[in-house]
Amino acid sequence: MHVKPCPCSSGKIFAVCCAPYLEGRSNPRTVKQLMRSRYSAFALGGHGDYLLQTWHPRTAPAVSAQDLGRADTLWTGLQIVDSQQRGNQGMVEFRASFLDADGKPDVHHEKSSFVREGGRWFYLSA
């Protein structure tokens, strides 16, 4: 059982937050859930398959799941700034904190777009 806090900074435990998505037991129902689970996949590493499966095929990078799943960045927190979901379109603006190569705190700020196809949400682009 995963009793540790979820990496996505939701305040929930991993087992009831992002684990069901990363383990393939459930699909995110909202763009915020997908964004949080993708952040957790990057933060934990080893979830390249999940990242590719939730990346829209039209915009997915030509990279292997193994390469995408490498935990080569120390992610330290996620802040959702804004989100919108209307019909099959969605947007999440977020700030993801991490430590750079020198161990100094830095922030990746992005406004991501999402699309729902066949009942599933996909990351489209930044």
Q: What are phi and psi of 115, to 5 degrees?
A: -135, 145
Per-residue pLDDT at 28: 97
* CA-wise closest residue to 122 among 68, 57, 71: 57
Output the pLDDT for position 71.
85
The whole-number pLDDT of residue 3 equals 82
Q: By the 8 A CB rule, do 12 and 24 touch?
A: no
pLDDT tens for the chain, 126 residues: list them: 558 999 999 999 999 999 999 999 999 999 999 999 999 999 999 999 999 999 999 999 999 999 989 988 999 999 999 999 999 999 999 999 999 989 999 999 999 999 999 999 999 999
Q: What is the pLDDT of residue 72?
A: 87
Q: Which domains, and CATH codes, for the chain? A: 14-125 (3.10.450.50)
So what's the pLDDT on residue 2? Answer: 58
* Burial class (CB within 10 angstroms; exposed 0-12, middle 13-18, buried 19+) of 61: exposed
* pTM for this prediction: 0.94
